[in-house]
Amino acid sequence: MTELYNIALEILGNGKGILAADESTATMTKRLDSVNVQSTSENRLLFRETLFKASAMKDCIGGVILYDETIKQISSEKNTIPKLISSMGSHPGIKVDTGAKVLAGSSDEKITEGLDGLRERLKEYYKLGAKFTKWRGVYNITKDFPSKLSICSNAHALARYSAMVQECNMVPIVEPELLMDGDHTAKDCYQKTSEVIKKCFEELILHKVDLKGIILKPNMILPGNKSKEKISNEEVAKLTLDCLKNSVPSEVPGIAFLSGGQSEIEATENLNLINKINNTNFIMSFSYGRALQQSALKFWSKNIQDTEGTQKVFNHRAKMNTLAAQGKWSKEIEN
């Protein structure tokens, strides 16, 4: 499993992080609609390829999570997309779950599906050039949720997925996301995130997953988006680090945070503050979708042929997050 450990380090080492470009066609259509660009497979590819060829890929992005459509597309230079990403010094990855569906027995909660036929799909993705994969479990925070049923079901699915991925010589990203939606406090988020992550690792160990060959993709500890509670970024960093220190086994090489509803600047600032106080052996980096792409998408939509201008916007965001992953970001550098 040394090979998987090395891949995980290459993805997250030296301040590099992950570009989450694995939006489903439906999600990507919403994003493009929001900036008045028609969602065709050509336009979806054009935007993504513009980012994949940006210079920041070499220094800031260690891995790119792709969607099934994208990993099979051919670039404008007649290269496969995984080859294009590899040529930029980054690892291609793939989202392999088939989405969150209603959880039987708890209709207000979700279970992530996609285990049926997964082994065959993994073999295909590996042949296409994927080096790592992603599966997202999603949880609500309320007085009653996440329920024991949701915590156990999603942890079990994440573990079965991870075991199969390692069997196919790829690094699994384990993503248990507790959603920001709601009026919960940061303390509620802390307690429930902790419970969910501990259960995930219990199942991963039970399924004989090598923890040295995975990447954890958790949420940061934040109050809900409808909560009256306001806490400082320093407090977010302290609570997040504390939660992970107490729930993640030391063998795990790296943690790549999701941005989960934070603005681009918030996601960068919080990551920076976490790294300023990070006294663990975990690499703490980023696996951002919107928080890396939103400004670039807005710029690109004004003229989808302006590759250079779009890349400039993306390069800046990627560079800021790489600094944050090393605790070297500041508002002065940002502006």
Catalytic residue among 16, 110, 199, 217: 217
- How open is the CA angle 297-262-173, to the nearest 5 degrees? 85
Instruction: Quote the crossing angle between the two packed helices 290-302 and 307-324, to the nearest 10°.
Output: 160
CA-to-CA distance for 98 and 224, rounded, in angstroms?
26
The count of other CB atoms within 10 Å of the CB of residue 206 is: 12
CA-to-CA distance for 2 and 8, rounded, in angstroms?
10
Is beta strand 106-112 parallel, antiparallel or unpaired with respect to 100-103?
antiparallel
Q: How is residue 100 written in tokens?
A: 């969150």
Catalytic residue among 23, 49, 109, 175: 175
Residues 6 or more apart whose Cβ sits within 8 Å of residue 221? 186, 189, 190, 193, 236, 239, 240, 243
CA-to-CA distance for 103 and 82, rounded, in angstroms?
34
Q: How is residue 131 written in tokens?
A: 């080096």
If we measure between CA atoms, which residue out of 12, 9, 7, 8 comes closest to residue 321?
12
CA 181 to chain CA centroid, Å, is 18
- How open is the CA angle 299-15-136, to the nearest 5 degrees? 70
Residue 175 among the catalytic residues: yes
Residue 245 among the catalytic residues: no
CA-to-CA distance for 294 and 272, rounded, in angstroms?
19
Distances (CA, A) of 230 to 183, 194, 244, 263: 11, 21, 21, 16
φ, ψ dihedrals at 113, nearest 5°: -110, 170
- Residues carrying an active site annotation: 175, 217
